[in-house]
Amino acid sequence: MFGICLFLLVSIAILLSIFGGQWNSAQRKGKRGEKTVSLILETLPDCYLTFNDYYFSVDGHSVQIDHIVLSPFGIFVIETKNFKGWIIGAETSEYWIKNYYGNKYKFRNPIKQNLSHVLALKKILDVPQEKIIPIVVFTSKADLKCSVHTPVLYTYQLKKFILSVKDQLFTGDEVSYFAQKLQCVNITDDKRHQRHTIETQNYVLKKETLIQNRICPKCKGQLVERNGKYGSFLGCSNYPRCRFTVPL
The C-alpha atoms of residue 225 and residue 235 are separated, in whole angstroms, by 6
Residue 238, number of CB atoms within 10 A of its CB = 15
Phi, psi dihedral angles at 228 (to 5 degrees):
-140, -170
The Cα 138–Cα 85 span in angstroms is 11
DSSP β-bridge partners for residue 222:
215
- Per-residue pLDDT tens over the stretch 68-93: 999 999 999 999 999 999 999 999 88
pTM (two decimals): 0.73
β 74-81/132-138 pair status = parallel
Residues 14-37 pLDDT 10s: 545 554 555 455 556 657 788 999
Average pLDDT score, the chain: 85
* 203-218 confidence digits (pLDDT tens): 676 777 888 888 898 8
User: Which residues lie closer than 8 Å to 2 by C-beta, 6 or more apart?
Assistant: none
- Torsion from C-alpha of 12, 28, 217, 203, nearest 10 degrees: 60
